[in-house]
C-alpha cells in the first residue's frame, strides 16, 4: 500500500514509518502541519493516510480538519485518524459523509502492531476502524440506549464489535463462536433495527455506524 | 387633561410634604435648640446644652433620614440607590481564644461585638456621606419641597387675617408648584446618597481580596491533586515498566517465554498509564476545549453524558481560554449534578454570546431542590465564576425542573 503519514512529533512519525515499512508498505510522503497534510493527501492520493489530530500551526484540530477537507475533495479517500484521546464528536464528524474508508483510533493502538496494520488495511479497503471506547459511547449515548434496548445481550456485543469495523469472521474469533452463528445474530439484529443487510461487510458496518450516528445528534 | 393635572398636583403636594418633613427633621432639631437657647435668655453659657443636644440629634437622625429618602426615591421613581453601608462580619473565636470581628482581635465576645458596632457606626465613610446629605438636602430639596405647604399655610393665614391678596397668592403658588416641588429631591438623593468612589473602591478591594484568596486556595489544591495523581499513577507505573523491561532483557537468553510474558505485561502497563494520563489531562483541560473551543467541547461532553441532551449554541463563539475553561467545567458540574442529585433524564444547554459576554443556561427535568449553600458545589462554582465577575442564578423549585444561568462578562479580561 502507498501510505501518507501526517504527524508532527518526530519520534512518533519515525516510529509509524518504520512500523508500516516493516509490514512491507510504502510511505510516499510525510506531513507535519495541517496545510501540508491536505496538500500531500490531494497530491499523492494514497491508498491510506495516517493522520494525527493535533498539529501545527495552531496545535488544535488541524489534522482532523485537513482529513475532512481532503475527503470533501476526494470522497472516500481512506484516512485513519490517530489521537491521544477519542471523542464521539470527532467520530461522528468523520462518519457523517457516510462514504466509509475512515478509522479513528487511540495512538496506543500501535502497541499491537498486527491489529494496527489490520485496521489500516481495513480502512484502505473502504471499511472502518473505530476505537472501542468511541463505539461504547455511541452505543450508550442518549436515545441509542432506548433504540437498542430490544437487542439481546449477545446481539449487543456483536453489534459493538461490528461497529468497531470487524468482519463476521473476526467477531466470531473474539466471541468464540462460529461464523455462521454470528451471521445468524447479525440477521436478527438488523431485522430489529430495521437496517437493510448487505453482503459487503464494509457497507454493512457503515450502515450500522450511520444508524448510531443519526441516533442522537445534540 | 385637567383631571390628570389635578391628580398630579394632589400627589405632588403629598410628596412635597413628605420630602419636606423628612429632610427638614434635622433643621427642625436645630431650630428647637436655638429656640430653647433664646427662651433661656440667650446668655453666653446657656447655648452649650441645646447645642450638644442638637449635635447628638443630627448624628442619630442622619442615617434614618437617608434610609427614608432612599426608600422614597425608590418607591416613586424606581431608581435604586445602593446604600453601601459596611456589613457586620461574623464574630469568630480564633485558635488563640481571642475573638475576631473583621477589624480587630478582642479578649471577649462582648468586646468584639462592641468594637465592631462602634467601628460600623463611626468609622464607616458612609457616616460622613450621610451627614453631608443631611446638611445639603434641606437647603436644596427641602427648600423646593417646602414651597407648596408654605403656600398653603400663607393662604390659610391670609384668609384668616382677611388679607385676601396674600391668601390668593399663596393658594396659586401652592397649586402651581405642587406637581414639581418634590422632584429636586430625586437628583439630590441620587447624587449625594450613592456610595462615594472611595467607598465603592474599598468594596471592590474587599471583593478582590477574597477572590484572590479563593483562587490561590483552589489553585494550590488543584496542583496538589495533579502531583498526587502523577506520583501514584503514571510515575509509579513507569518505574514498574522499566523494571519489567530490565528483567525481560535479562531473561531474553535464558527464558524467552517468561521474557515474552513480561514484555506483554509491560505493554499493558504502558497502555494503563496512558489511560490514567488521559483522564488526568481531561481533568486539567479537556483536549477538545483546546482543539475546538467551548461550544464543541460542551457538545462533546453532552454526547458522552447519559442524559439525553440538546445543545443550542452559536458555533463561532470563541472566548478567552480562562473563561472557556471556567464555563466548561461549570457546565460539566451542572450536568453531573443533574445526573447524580436531580436524577434527571433530559437536559438542555444553551450558549449565547456576543462582545459583551456569554450567557450559558443548563436546564434539566430532574427533581429540583438545588440551591447555593455555603461550601457546597454550586457555591464553589459561583466563586469560580466571580473571579471573572460572572454570576450564577439557580432556579430549582422542589420537584424540579432545575434551571441554572451563568453569565460571564467578557470585558473582565
For the stretch A50-76, pLDDT in tens is 999 999 888 888 999 999 999 999 998
**Is residue A217 scored above 50 in pLDDT?**
no
Question: What's the average model confidence in pLDDT over A41-51?
Answer: 94
Show Cβ contacts of residue B40 under 8 Å, excluding neighbours closer than 6 positions: B46
Question: Is residue B411 very low, low, confident or very high in pLDDT (cuts 50, 70, 90)?
Answer: low
Residues of B in contact with A113 (CB under 8 A): none
**Is residue B130 scored above 70 in pLDDT?**
yes
Sequence ranges of the domains in chain A: 2-130, 136-215
Q: What is the rounded average pLDDT for all residues in chain B?
A: 86
Question: What's the average model confidence in pLDDT over A15-23?
Answer: 93
Q: What is the pLDDT of residue A218?
A: 44
- What span, in angstroms and rounded, lies between the C-alpha atoms of A10 and B274? 19
Count of CB atoms situated within 10 Å of the CB of B220: 10
Q: Does the reported pTM lie above 0.80?
A: no
At the second CATH level, the architecture of A136-215 is Orthogonal Bundle (1.10)
List C-alpha distances in Å: B369 to B127, B349, B362. Answer: 41, 19, 15
Question: What's the average model confidence in pLDDT over B37-42?
Answer: 79
CATH topology of domain A2-130: Rossmann fold (3.40.50)
Cross-chain residue pair A218–B271, CB shorter than 8 Å: no
Question: What's the average model confidence in pLDDT over B324-341?
Answer: 92
**Is residue B213 scored above 90 in pLDDT?**
no
Judge if A2-130 and A136-215 fold alike in CATH terms.
no
Cross-chain residue pair A111–B267, CB shorter than 8 Å: yes
**Is residue B307 scored above 50 in pLDDT?**
yes
Question: What's the average model confidence in pLDDT over A45-51?
Answer: 95
Angle A179-193/A153-164 helices, nearest 10 degrees? Answer: 100
- What span, in angstroms and rounded, lies between the C-alpha atoms of B219 and B207? 18
**Phi and psi dihedrals of B114, rounded to 5?**
-65, -45
List C-alpha distances in Å: A181 to A153, A169, A175, A213. Answer: 15, 10, 10, 27
Per cent of chain A over pLDDT 90 is 38
Chain B contact for A59, CB < 8 A? yes
**Is residue B360 scored above 50 in pLDDT?**
yes
Q: What is the rounded average pLDDT for all residues in chain A?
A: 86
- What span, in angstroms and rounded, lies between the C-alpha atoms of B288 and B299? 10
Altogether, the residues listed in chain B come to a count of: 413
Identify the contact set of chain B against chain A, taking CB-CB distances under 8 A.
Answer: 267, 270-271, 274, 278, 281-282, 287-288, 290-292, 296, 299-300, 302-311
Residues of A in contact with B281 (CB under 8 A): 84-85
Question: What's the average model confidence in pLDDT over A89-108?
Answer: 87
**Is residue A146 scored above 70 in pLDDT?**
no
Residues of B in contact with A87 (CB under 8 A): 287-288, 300, 303
**Is residue B412 scored above 70 in pLDDT?**
no
Amino acid at each position: 500500500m502507498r501510505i501518507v503519514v501526517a504527524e508532527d512529533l518526530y519520534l512518533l512519525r519515525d516510529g509509524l514509518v518504520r512500523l508500516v515499512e516493516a509490514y512491507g508498505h510504502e510511505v510516499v510522503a510525510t506531513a507535519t502541519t495541517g496545510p501540508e497534510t491536505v496538500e500531500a493527501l490531494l497530491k499523492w492520493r494514497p491508498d491510506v493516510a495516517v493522520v494525527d489530530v493535533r498539529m501545527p500551526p495552531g496545535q488544535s484540530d488541524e489534522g482532523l480538519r485537513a482529513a475532512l477537507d481532503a475527503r470533501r475533495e476526494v470522497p472516500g479517500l481512506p484516512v485513519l485518524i490517530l489521537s491521544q484521546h477519542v471523542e464521539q464528536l470527532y467520530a461522528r464528524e468523520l462518519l457523517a459523509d457516510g462514504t466509509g474508508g475512515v478509522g479513528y483510533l487511540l495512538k496506543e493502538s500501535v502497541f499491537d502492531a498486527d491489529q494496527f496494520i489490520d485496521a489500516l488495511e481495513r480502512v484502505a479497503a473502504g471499511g472502518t476502524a473505530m476505537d472501542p471506547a468511541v463505539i461504547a459511547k455511541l452505543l450508550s449515548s442518549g436515545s441509542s440506549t432506548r433504540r437498542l434496548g430490544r437487542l439481546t445481550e449477545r446481539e449487543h456485543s456483536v453489534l459493538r464489535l461490528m461497529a468497531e469495523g470487524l468482519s463476521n469472521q473476526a467477531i466470531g474469533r473474539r466471541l468464540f463462536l462460529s461464523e455462521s452463528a454470528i451471521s445468524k445474530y447479525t440477521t436478527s439484529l438488523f431485522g430489529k433495527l430495521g437496517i437493510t443487510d448487505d453482503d459487503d461487510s464494509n457497507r454493512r458496518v457503515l450502515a450500522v455506524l450511520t444508524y448510531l450516528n443519526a441516533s442522537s445528534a445534540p | 387633561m385637567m383631571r390628570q393635572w389635578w391628580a398630579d398636583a394632589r400627589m405632588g403636594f403629598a410628596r412635597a410634604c413628605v420630602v419636606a418633613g423628612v429632610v427638614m427633621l434635622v433643621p427642625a432639631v436645630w431650630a428647637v435648640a436655638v429656640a430653647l437657647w433664646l427662651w433661656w435668655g440667650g446668655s453666653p453659657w446657656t447655648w452649650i446644652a441645646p447645642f450638644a443636644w442638637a449635635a447628638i440629634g443630627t448624628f442619630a437622625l442622619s442615617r434614618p433620614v437617608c434610609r427614608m429618602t432612599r426608600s422614597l426615591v425608590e418607591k416613586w421613581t424606581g431608581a435604586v440607590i445602593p446604600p453601601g453601608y459596611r456589613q457586620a462580619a461574623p464574630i469568630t473565636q480564633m485558635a488563640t481564644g481571642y475573638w475576631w470581628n473583621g477589624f480587630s482581635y478582642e479578649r471577649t465576645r462582648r468586646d468584639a461585638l462592641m468594637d465592631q458596632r462602634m467601628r460600623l457606626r463611626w468609622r464607616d465613610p458612609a457616616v460622613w456621606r450621610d451627614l453631608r446629605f443631611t446638611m445639603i438636602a434641606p437647603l436644596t430639596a427641602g427648600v423646593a419641597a417646602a414651597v407648596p405647604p408654605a403656600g398653603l399655610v400663607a393662604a390659610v393665614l391670609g384668609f384668616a387675617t382677611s388679607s385676601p391678596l396674600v391668601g390668593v397668592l399663596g393658594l396659586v403658588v401652592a397649586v402651581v408648584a405642587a406637581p414639581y416641588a418634590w422632584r429636586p429631591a430625586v437628583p439630590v438623593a441620587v447624587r449625594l446618597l450613592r456610595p462615594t468612589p472611595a467607598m465603592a473602591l474599598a468594596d471592590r478591594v474587599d471583593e478582590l481580596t477574597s477572590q484572590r484568596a479563593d483562587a490561590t486556595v483552589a489553585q494550590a489544591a488543584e496542583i496538589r491533586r495533579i502531583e498526587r495523581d502523577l506520583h501514584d499513577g503514571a510515575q509509579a507505573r513507569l518505574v514498574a515498566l522499566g523494571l519489567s523491561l530490565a528483567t525481560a532483557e535479562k531473561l531474553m537468553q535464558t527464558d524467552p517465554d517468561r521474557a515474552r510474558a513480561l514484555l506483554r505485561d509491560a505493554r499493558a502497563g504502558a497502555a494503563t498509564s496512558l489511560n490514567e494520563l488521559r483522564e488526568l489531562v481531561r481533568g486539567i483541560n479537556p483536549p477538545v476545549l483546546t482543539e475546538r473551543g467551548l461550544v464543541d467541547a460542551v457538545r462533546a461532553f453532552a454526547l458522552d453524558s447519559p442524559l439525553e441532551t440538546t445543545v443550542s449554541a452559536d458555533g463561532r463563539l470563541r472566548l478567552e481560554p480562562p473563561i472557556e475553561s471556567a464555563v466548561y467545567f461549570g457546565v460539566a458540574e451542572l450536568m453531573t449534578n443533574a445526573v447524580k442529585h436531580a436524577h434527571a433524564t433530559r437536559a438542555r444547554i444553551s450558549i449565547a454570546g456576543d462582545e459583551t459576554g456569554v450567557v450559558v443556561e443548563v436546564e434539566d427535568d430532574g427533581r429540583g431542590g438545588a440551591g447555593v449553600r455555603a461550601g457546597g458545589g454550586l457555591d464553589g462554582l459561583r466563586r469560580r465564576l466571580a473571579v471573572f465577575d460572572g454570576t450564577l442564578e439557580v432556579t430549582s423549585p422542589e420537584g424540579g425542573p432545575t434551571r441554572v444561568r451563568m453569565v460571564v462578562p467578557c470585558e473582565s479580561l
